[in-house]
Copies of this chain bind each other. A is one copy, B any other.
């Protein structure tokens, strides 16, 4: 068997998330259809393993998945074959033959997510699916100060949605960057960590916006982390602003 790693972007607006669900249009199902068409519909069908799920409406700039094919195709032929079969809201940017011990989910070392918040007075019709909308002024320095308390290894029980199936809520955040994009009239957040819990980034962003708009003190991140109580963080920012930017793997994962 030949294992392929693919790196791909998708516009999440018209997908019911990554994970396969009956009678729904999902990223995983759409990729699986294309891979199995290339493989001439083997029985059982070839599964496609993503680095992780994204929710309905969440986007990806460089999501990663792997699958095994019974025969060899060049990287470029694989990329072209997939793109010729995929709808325009998924683009395979790279396909690579990798060693059989590469695993899109288990080999992932770190992930980076971006969150875009539009600060316009009204919801911009062209951004409604691509940003969150928060019209109140925010103090970026305050949010940066508060965000520093997220960095490191923490129990994120206060920042996980109730549907989470994770065994442990302990995760490590390596970096949080927050900047204004004046051209777009946006505030942009970037989080890098060894993995994120269900809705964790959306809850952290909503929390930081409350800090930035003066509804919470800067010190609240520390307090609410320590409380280990989901009801303390309250809000979840919408899916539309969230982008999976990259998934990082060890260098030894690639064969070619």
**A123 CB contacts on chain B under 8 angstroms:** 88, 91
Q: Is A71 an interface residue (CB 8 A)?
A: no
Q: Is A83 an interface residue (CB 8 A)?
A: yes
Q: Which residue of B lies closest to A183 (CB)?
A: B183
Copies of this chain, count: 2
Whole-angstrom CA separation of A89 from B128 in the bound complex:
7
CB distance from A174 to the nearest CB of B (A): 26
Whole-angstrom CA separation of A89 from B240 in the bound complex:
14
**A83 CB contacts on chain B under 8 angstroms:** 122
In A101-131, the 8 Å CB interface with B consists of 122-126, 128, 130
Q: Is A67 an interface residue (CB 8 A)?
A: no
**A183 CB contacts on chain B under 8 angstroms:** 183
Q: Which residue of B lies closest to A133 (CB)?
A: B88
Partner of A91, one of B88, B90, B124: B124
Q: Is A206 an interface residue (CB 8 A)?
A: no
CB distance from A242 to the nearest CB of B (A): 13
CB distance from A58 to the nearest CB of B (A): 13
Q: Are B91 and A9 interface neighbours, CB within 8 A?
A: no
CB distance from A85 to the nearest CB of B (A): 14
Can you give 15 contacting A-B residue pairs, CB < 8 Å? A9-B124, A9-B125, A9-B126, A10-B125, A11-B125, A59-B126, A83-B122, A88-B123, A89-B125, A89-B128, A90-B125, A91-B122, A91-B123, A126-B130, A183-B183
